[in-house]
């Protein structure tokens, strides 16, 4: 049986950094070559990063991508990786338009090319804005094996190129991906990939990007399945990784050409003959998927770290209220950047409780981050007295003085400000615009309040398991949440119980369910009416909120595009 | 020759306000019926407003749209308009998915239906996210005339349904539109519509929406052209209008059915026989298009007014610095809402010049808006002293104390805050986030600085012509621009000359031209490098900027989608 050693390079590319990404590709391909792999596959758009958004339309950028690809072929050869068939994804542009493409580099040349067929245009994706779809299936014979390529969405659509490859005949399918993390997506991914392998009647090697890009984070989780759908190898999540695997393939797939299933099937030969037999060195290795909490925590840590570093920051500053949201954000920041890069500020007002300060100080002690106290009384009084503010206007000024304080410290010391709001708050507008909403990044923007608590408990338990000090003070987890903007204020004065609230938010925002459907599924009508009004009215605040890691199926932002001016009210 | 009296109802619908829009449709159809029109056409998606964005995907909303349409047919009949063939555009949803549709209502029934074919997915449009394209051309015989329908983008694409209608044979084509205003678009619109009429070999009646919806404003400019492309009638821009026209049509178009040009051509008969001859009462009326400045000013006024009113506000507040940007915003607000709804605040700091206060007061005097002075010294000192801020951090605190002041007044009195930044500032990041950038709406967000000056001069000249007091103090127009955040500061300390700057911004942002292309077209290399760096670095600020009226081909916002985390630098 023909043998082949494949390498899936699950790497962290940076959008727009063509030179950096080219070096990354050389580096990982060299590692694959050193392990004597014959074929290496990198993630979708690894040369440009993903998603490049409107850069895809800029001719100068597309030209640079094509030019860097050609240069990369030579660099790989010079680096001694010329013999490896290296599958590099990049932005192409031909007379039809921009293309989401993969090229095979070998001995200093581009020896094959494949364009993406299915262009997702839903959720966070706008690919029909950017790319023209491919019409051909370009199969390359590598060491006697017929190797087909599909790109990301091509796997997710029924009746696509995979079925055509199955009918045409291939020995192996490789699939570069940039598939953003969502909770439980890994549970869907494996059965999907397994099903497509069966459809292709060949093993399928799926390699995914890792790392954060603005609101998206890629979890890796690269996998190889056999022709029967059996899981052969799986890479760990949220880390760069080279997944090496020796495959014994039957070879001798049927070799049809011409039009199959709407695609033009074309074949090329890179190396016709199978390799002489060699001893396998890389058997199957299957990384255990992370638990739900560990996965979410890793997603948040990875995306925050990459946002900070890829944007040239070395430190962050955040307000520490003693409450659960800022405590979890601080713990995430410490995990992402180390305590020395995290500056936390307690900003008590006249309404702040004693425990808000002591809990903040306790967290600082536990995590070792930089901690300071800046009371805001003088600032608040300056506004309230001069402008004669009362009620909500007075409450909001407190939050805004904290915002101005954090931004002042950011400007003075170069820290990135973190906004500490959660998804539930953002949904119902329970935040002060230009107040607690200020920041360059919002780590828990897509984390519902009830999950914030779960994550805090999970993170503390993990610390316990490892014999470390739990980062989050128990009292921050257990005390009733409060914005502390007026005496004795509690979140429950303005909001329903968070467990009930999160269920409605989830069904309305993620589920996009209408009023009657929500009632039919058992929610209290009065609660639904109240919550939906709050969510609809808060659209304008969400528009000006900083970016933050998407972890759910539908995050606020590109995933959910609603007009601000919108008279539609569910239930009317 | 068969006669027909048509009415184009150029109306201002509100997104999501199904009941309000239904009443609007009844109201304008009644006017058309009173003028004895036999056929009335309303703009694209008039029943739901346009664009509804992700509401198109919500089943409850689509169901409500379909249900309201059925109800509307009955209401029109009850209102005595049952005999008019009323072309109402709405959101449909069938087993294939959501549809951008138009229905013909007559005697209480839906008698015909047409789906949009071409779905724009560029610029501000995401229609392939929302709608499934139509496959058929549904031609209706009305008083013996074969009437075809196309929707908006169907007109803008070559080789589309218009050519097929021409081959199939029609006597008249009606086209509901929601085509957002852009500078000079009206110059393109007429030749385009004329060309399509020739292609259809029939007169074409083009009706466009009017009014503002978040960042988009629709200018109306509805037109009717003859089969030879001659302009027959044209409605005024930026006002609701009923364009009535008596047409004498040759009739007797060829009546092919079946598949033509990829479309299924289907015919129905509403009324087979031509009307008995009657005396025409509505000859051609051709409104003169507005001048470039008048058009831009009207766009800004209309969009601001609609944003304020459609979001339930009755008044606005803005900072008045004595500079040109805030002066133009104040003048726009006064034109949009009347002086009694406009609250302007001068917020001098220790670095404010004497003329900054006197020019602000002068504008208040000229326009009659509400004016007050709130010095920010005390507030600024509270932050600077406690936090030890210097340099840029100190400069920014001044802008932020103004932001907090405006938001405080907004919270206390219910005004909508206007952000007064222009497009050039937004491009190069010459603004303070959470400072002068605060606001619910930014009237001149898409107006380059040089155009701000032009508009000011034009508006003053218009006042002179009408014998009114020019709203903008001459000195606000002529003095060198300054942020006044440190002693003697001028914009030119940090920025190139605005004339040069605007040219580069225009070529890079609207033109999407790369570094080498910019140099080749004559820009100074050092200037290009400097400006491009500023523009690229400011992306994060633009994300958190309030919405504002789009007037150019490419506004910041949905028109230009770039990653924040983006290492690509032109010229490298």
Q: Please name the residues in contact with A484: beta carbons below 8 A apart, sequence gap of 6 or more.
A: A321, A349, A351, A352, A353, A356
Interface test with B, best of A121, A305, A563, A569 (most B CBs within 10 A): A563
Please check the confidence at residue B266 and state whether its pLDDT lies above 90.
Answer: yes
- Could A393 and B387 be called an inter-chain contact, meaning their C-beta atoms sit closer than 8 Å? no
Per residue in B227-243, pLDDT (tens digit) is 999 999 999 999 999 99
Q: Please name the residues in contact with B168: beta carbons below 8 A apart, sequence gap of 6 or more.
A: B137, B139, B148, B254, B255, B256, B257, B260, B265
Judge whether B451 and B390 are in contact, CB under 8 Å: no
Q: CA neighbours within 13 Å on the CB side: how many for A357?
A: 12
Could you say which residues from 394 to 413 on chain A have a Cβ atom under 8 Å away from some Cβ of chain B?
396-397, 400-401, 403-405, 407-409, 411-412
Which chain B residues have a beta carbon less than 8 Å from that of A153?
Answer: none
pLDDT of residue B195: 94
The average pLDDT across A42-49 equals 98
Judge whether A482 and A323 are in contact, CB under 8 Å: yes
Task: Provide ipTM, 2 decimals.
Answer: 0.96
Please check the confidence at residue A365 and state whether its pLDDT lies above 90.
Answer: yes
Sheet of B145-149, strands arranged across: B231-234, B223-225, B204-208, B172-177, B145-149, B136-142, B263-269, B258-260
- Token digits for B496? 């190139």
Q: How many CB atoms lie within 10 A of CB B255?
A: 13
Q: Of B61, B387, B411, which is closest to A396 when you measure between CB atoms? A: B411
Judge whether A446 and A551 are in contact, CB under 8 Å: yes
What is the DSSP code string of B358-426?
HHHHHHHHHHT-EEEE---HHHHHHHHHHHT--HHHHHHHHHHHHHHHHHHHHHHH-PEEBP---HHHH
Handedness of CA A358, A362, A365, A367 (dihedral sign): negative
pLDDT of residue B506: 97
- Could B434 and A407 be called an inter-chain contact, meaning their C-beta atoms sit closer than 8 Å? yes
Whose CA is closest to A504, among A571, A414, A437, A410?
A571
Q: Is A60 on the interface with B (CB under 8 A)?
A: yes
CA gap A368, A20 in Å, rounded: 33
Please check the confidence at residue A82 and state whether its pLDDT lies above 80.
Answer: yes
Q: Of A63, A517, A563, which is closest to B53 when you measure between CB atoms? A: A563
> What kind and span of H or E run contains B559?
none
CA gap A37, A29 in Å, rounded: 9
Q: Of B122, B434, B515, which is closest to A438 when you measure between CB atoms? A: B434
Is residue B423 part of the annotated active site? The answer reads no
B413 vs A252, more confident: B413
Q: How many CB atoms lie within 10 A of CB A30?
A: 16
Q: Is A190 on the interface with B (CB under 8 A)?
A: no
CA gap B325, B548 in Å, rounded: 14
pLDDT of residue B384: 97
pLDDT bucket at A67, cuts 50 / 70 / 90: very high
Query: Chain-wide mean pLDDT for chain A?
Result: 96
The number of angstroms, rounded, from the C-alpha of A472 to the middle of its chain's C-alpha atoms is 25
Per residue in A122-146, pLDDT (tens digit) is 999 999 999 999 999 999 999 999 9
Give the rounded percent of residues in chain B with a pLDDT score beyond 70: 100
pLDDT bucket at A203, cuts 50 / 70 / 90: very high
Per residue in A383-397, pLDDT (tens digit) is 999 999 999 999 999
Residue corresponding to tokens 């520490």: A320
Please check the confidence at residue A554 and state whether its pLDDT lies above 80.
Answer: yes
Give the rounded percent of residues in chain B with a pLDDT score beyond 90: 91
pLDDT of residue B483: 86
CA gap A504, A448 in Å, rounded: 11
Q: Of B53, B404, B565, which is closest to A400 when you measure between CB atoms? A: B404
Judge whether A335 and A472 are in contact, CB under 8 Å: no
Which chain B residues have a beta carbon less than 8 Å from that of A569?
Answer: 16
Three-state DSSP at A165 gives: helix
Judge whether A447 and A324 are in contact, CB under 8 Å: no
Which chain B residues have a beta carbon less than 8 Å from that of A388?
Answer: 412
pLDDT of residue B187: 81
Whose CA is closest to B87, among B149, B3, B17, B144?
B149
Q: Is A372 on the interface with B (CB under 8 A)?
A: no
Is residue B310 part of the annotated active site? The answer reads no
Judge whether B531 and B162 are in contact, CB under 8 Å: no
Is residue B152 part of the annotated active site? The answer reads yes
Nearest residue on chain B to A401, judged by CA atoms?
B404
Per residue in A429-469, pLDDT (tens digit) is 999 999 999 999 999 999 999 999 999 999 999 999 999 99
Q: What is the DSSP letter of A450?
A: H
Q: Is B555 on the interface with A (CB under 8 A)?
A: no
- Could B386 and A379 be called an inter-chain contact, meaning their C-beta atoms sit closer than 8 Å? yes
Three-state DSSP at A346 gives: strand
Q: How many CB pairs under 8 A join A and B?
A: 234
Please check the confidence at residue A195 and state whether its pLDDT lies above 80.
Answer: yes
Least confident of A253-262, B219-228, B377-386: A253-262
- Token digits for B112? 């015909």
pLDDT bucket at B484, cuts 50 / 70 / 90: confident
CA gap B258, B484 in Å, rounded: 70
The average pLDDT across B23-47 equals 98
pLDDT of residue A571: 84
Please check the confidence at residue B355 and state whether its pLDDT lies above 90.
Answer: no
Please check the confidence at residue A572 and state whether its pLDDT lies above 80.
Answer: no
Q: Is B60 on the interface with A (CB under 8 A)?
A: yes
Q: Of B378, B562, B570, which is closest to A386 when you measure between CB atoms? A: B378
Nearest residue on chain B to A560, judged by CA atoms?
B54
* Residue of B81, B86, B127, B152 marked catalytic: B152
pLDDT bucket at B76, cuts 50 / 70 / 90: very high
The average pLDDT across B104-128 equals 96
Give B360-364 contacts, CB < 8 A, sequence gap 24+: B360/B320, B360/B321, B360/B322, B360/B326, B362/B473, B362/B475, B363/B320, B363/B327, B363/B330, B363/B331, B363/B471, B363/B472, B363/B473, B363/B476, B364/B320
Q: What is the DSSP letter of A448?
A: -
Burial class (CB in 10 A: 0-12, 13-18, 19+), B464: exposed
Least confident of A30-44, A271-285, B150-164, B189-203: B150-164
Q: How far is CA A88 from CA A91, A113, B91, B127, in A?
A: 10, 10, 43, 32
* Residue of B81, B86, B116, B541 marked catalytic: B116
Handedness of CA B385, B389, B395, B396 (dihedral sign): negative
Q: Is B390 on the interface with A (CB under 8 A)?
A: yes
pLDDT of residue A487: 86
CA gap A287, A223 in Å, rounded: 10
Question: How close, in Å, is residue B45 to chain A by CA atoms?
Answer: 14
Question: How close, in Å, is residue B48 to chain A by CA atoms?
Answer: 9
pLDDT of residue B488: 87
Q: CA neighbours within 13 Å on the CB side: how many for A444?
A: 27
Q: Of B387, B390, B438, which is closest to A405 when you measure between CB atoms? A: B387
Q: Is A133 on the interface with B (CB under 8 A)?
A: no
Three-state DSSP at B205 gives: strand
pLDDT bucket at B498, cuts 50 / 70 / 90: very high
- Token digits for A39? 């074929």
pLDDT of residue A160: 83
Question: How close, in Å, is residue A55 to chain B by CA atoms?
Answer: 7
pLDDT of residue B345: 98
Interface test with A, best of B127, B373, B404 (most A CBs within 10 A): B404
> What kind and span of H or E run contains B496?
none
CA gap B443, B214 in Å, rounded: 11
The average pLDDT across A236-257 equals 92
Could you say which residues from 10 to 39 on chain B have a Cβ atom under 8 Å away from some Cβ of chain A?
14-20
The average pLDDT across A260-287 equals 94
Alpha-helix runs per DSSP H in A435-490: 449-465, 474-478
The average pLDDT across B427-433 equals 96
Judge whether B202 and B173 are in contact, CB under 8 Å: yes
CA gap B171, B163 in Å, rounded: 14
Per residue in B142-197, pLDDT (tens digit) is 999 999 999 988 888 887 899 999 999 999 999 999 999 999 877 889 999 999 99
Per residue in A320-352, pLDDT (tens digit) is 999 999 999 999 999 999 999 999 999 999 998
Could you say which residues from 350 to 369 on chain A have a Cβ atom under 8 Å away from some Cβ of chain B?
none
- Token digits for A486? 């007026």
The average pLDDT across B116-125 equals 95
> What kind and span of H or E run contains B109?
strand B109-115
Alpha-helix runs per DSSP H in A311-417: 324-337, 354-367, 377-387, 391-413
Which chain B residues have a beta carbon less than 8 Å from that of A392?
Answer: 411
pLDDT of residue A486: 86
Give the rounded percent of residues in chain A with a pLDDT score beyond 70: 100
Which chain A residues have a beta carbon less than 8 Å from that of B563?
Answer: 15-16, 51-53, 55, 213-214
Could you say which residues from 236 to 295 on chain A have a Cβ atom under 8 Å away from some Cβ of chain B?
none
């Amino acid at each position: 049986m023909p043998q082949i050693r494949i390498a899936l390079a699950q790497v962290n590319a940076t959008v727009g950094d063509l030179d950096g990404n080219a070096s990354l590709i050389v580096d990982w391909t060299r590692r694959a070559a050193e392990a004597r792999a014959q074929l290496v596959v990198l993630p979708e758009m690894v040369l440009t990063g993903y998603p490049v958004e409107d850069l895809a339309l800029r001719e100068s950028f597309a030209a640079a991508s094509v030019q860097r690809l050609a240069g990369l072929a030579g660099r790989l050869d010079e680096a001694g990786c010329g013999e490896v068939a290296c599958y590099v994804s990049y932005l192409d542009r031909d007379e039809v338009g921009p293309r989401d493409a993969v090229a095979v580099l070998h001995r200093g040349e581009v020896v094959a090319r494949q364009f993406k067929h299915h262009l997702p245009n839903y959720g966070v994706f706008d690919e029909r804005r950017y790319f023209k779809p491919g019409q051909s299936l370009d199969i390359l014979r590598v060491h006697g094996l017929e190797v087909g390529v599909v790109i990301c969405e091509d796997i997710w659509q029924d009746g696509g190129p995979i079925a055509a490859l199955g009918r045409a005949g291939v020995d192996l399918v490789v699939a570069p991906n940039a598939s953003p993390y969502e909770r439980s997506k890994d549970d869907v991914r494996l059965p999907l990939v397994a099903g497509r392998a069966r459809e292709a009647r060949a093993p399928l090697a799926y390699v995914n990007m890792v790392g954060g890009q603005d609101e998206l984070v890629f979890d890796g989780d690269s996998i190889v399945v056999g022709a029967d759908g059996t899981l052969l190898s799986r890479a760990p999540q949220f880390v760069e990784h080279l997944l090496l695997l020796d495959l014994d393939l039957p070879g001798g797939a049927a070799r049809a050409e011409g039009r199959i299933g709407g695609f033009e099937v074309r074949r090329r030969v890179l190396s016709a003959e199978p390799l002489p037999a060699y001893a396998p060195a890389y058997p199957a290795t299957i990384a255990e998927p992370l638990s739900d909490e560990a996965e979410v925590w890793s997603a948040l840590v990875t995306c925050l770290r990459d946002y900070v570093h890829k944007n040239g920051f070395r430190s962050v500053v955040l307000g520490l209220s003693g409450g659960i949201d800022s405590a979890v954000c601080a713990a995430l920041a410490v995990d992402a950047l180390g305590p020395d890069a995290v500056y936390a500020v307690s900003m008590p007002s006249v309404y702040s409780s004693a425990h808000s300060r002591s809990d903040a100080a306790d967290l600082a002690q536990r995590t070792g981050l930089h901690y300071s106290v800046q009371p805001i009384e003088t600032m608040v009084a300056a506004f309230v007295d001069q402008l004669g503010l009362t009620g909500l206007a007075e409450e909001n000024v407190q939050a805004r003085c904290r915002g101005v304080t954090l931004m002042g410290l950011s400007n003075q010391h170069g820290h990135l400000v973190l906004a500490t709001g959660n998804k539930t708050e953002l949904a119902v507008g329970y935040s002060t615009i230009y107040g607690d909403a200020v920041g360059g990044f919002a780590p828990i923007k897509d984390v519902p309040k009830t999950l914030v608590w779960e994550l805090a408990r999970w993170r503390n338990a993990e610390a316990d398991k490892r014999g470390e000090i739990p980062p989050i003070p128990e009292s921050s987890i257990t005390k009733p949440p409060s914005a502390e903007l007026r005496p004795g204020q509690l979140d429950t004065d303005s909001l329903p119980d968070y467990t009930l609230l999160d269920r409605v938010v989830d069904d309305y925002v993620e589920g996009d369910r209408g009023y009657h459907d929500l009632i039919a599924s058992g929610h209290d009508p009065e609660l639904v009416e109240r919550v939906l009004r709050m969510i609809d009215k808060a659209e304008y605040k969400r528009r000006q909120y900083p970016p933050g890691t998407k972890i759910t199926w539908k995050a606020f932002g590109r995933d959910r595009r609603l007009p601000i001016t919108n008279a539609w009210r569910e239930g009317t």
